[in-house]
């Protein structure tokens, strides 16, 4: 996956399809949320929500200006295409950190899982429950996390490869 595709994936995750549509507009100049709403034919509240989601991860910014005729404050938006690599790196590093924490947690705690998949509990809790699922009465079975941890490690490796190429 190249950088543009990765950014699009990130945008879709945080700002949804409307976020992607806005990103792909590549407007030459700043636009107000209202103008975007008209150009795209999308409900203004949906446009705003997507814009603020893009703003939160650093891919959009706005300038406030009072409209001299109406007295309303207008938000002029600009996409930060120049920041996409930086944002991508930061977000990938965040995901990577969470995966590391997950490995740590999984390897420090022994878990039991209901044979029917309803609950996952820690060993102490499973003991208190007499290894019986509180929801369905099924048996709580020891959960082998080695495979799960291997999968997380693969994911981390993939992120590292992407980060090296960015
Ligand atoms: Zn159960």
Q: Residue 64: in which H helix or E strand, if any?
A: strand 60-66
Residue 91 pLDDT exceeds 80: yes
Distance 113 CA to ligand 1 centre (A): 8
* d(CA 152, ligand 1 centre) in Å: 26
121 Cα–ligand 1 center, Å: 11
For residue 53, the CA-to-ligand 1 centroid distance in Å is 38
Render pLDDT for 26-77 as a digit per residue (tens, 0 to 9). Answer: 988 999 999 999 999 999 999 999 999 999 999 999 999 998 999 999 999 9
The CA distance from 100 to 97, in Å, is 5
The residue among 166 and 129 whose pLDDT is bigger is 129
CA of 108 to the centre of ligand 1 (A): 24
**How many angstroms separate the alpha carbon of residue 141 from the centre of ligand 1?**
10
In the chain, what are the domain boundaries? 3-79, 93-165
| pTM, to two decimals | 0.76
pLDDT in tens, 113-127: 999 999 999 999 999
Q: Please report, to the nearest 10 degrees, the dihedral formed by the alpha carbons of residues 135, 139, 140, 141 taken in order.
A: -150
| pLDDT band for position 82 (cuts 50, 70, 90) | very high
Q: What is the pLDDT of residue 119?
A: 94
Distances from the Cα of 63 to the Cαs of 14, 22, 57, 109, in angstroms? 22, 17, 17, 48
Contact predicate 11/23, CB 8 Å: yes
Strand partners, 122: 111
pLDDT value of residue 159: 95
Task: Determine the distance separating the centroid of ligand 1 and the alpha carbon of 144, expressed in angstroms.
Answer: 17
Of the candidates 82, 13, 4, the residue with the CA atom closest to the CA atom of residue 53: 13
Report the separation in Å between the CA atom of 148 and the middle of ligand 1, taken as the mean of its atom positions.
21
Question: 131 C-alpha vs ligand 1 centroid, how far in Å?
Answer: 10
Q: What is the mean pLDDT of the chain?
A: 94
Determine the Cα angle at 88 with ends 87 and 90, to 5°: 65
- CATH second-level architecture of 3-79? Orthogonal Bundle (1.10)
């Amino acid at each position: 996956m190249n950088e543009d595709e990765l950014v699009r994936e990130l945008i879709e995750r945080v700002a949804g399809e409307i976020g992607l549509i806005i990103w792909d507009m590549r407007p030459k100049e700043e636009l107000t949320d209202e103008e975007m709403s008209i150009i795209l034919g999308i409900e203004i509240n949906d446009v705003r929500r997507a814009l603020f989601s893009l703003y939160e991860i650093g891919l959009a910014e706005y300038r406030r200006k009072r409209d001299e005729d109406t007295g309303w404050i207008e938000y002029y938006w600009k996409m930060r295409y120049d920041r996409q690599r930086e944002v991508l790196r930061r977000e990938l590093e965040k995901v990577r950190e969470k995966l590391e924490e997950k490995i740590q947690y999984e390897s420090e705690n022994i878990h039991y899982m209901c044979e029917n998949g309803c609950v996952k509990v820690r060993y102490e809790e499973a003991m208190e429950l007499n290894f019986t699922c509180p929801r369905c009465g099924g048996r709580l079975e020891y959960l082998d996390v080695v495979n799960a941890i291997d999968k997380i490690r693969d994911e981390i490796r993939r992120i590292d490869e992407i980060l090296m190429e960015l």
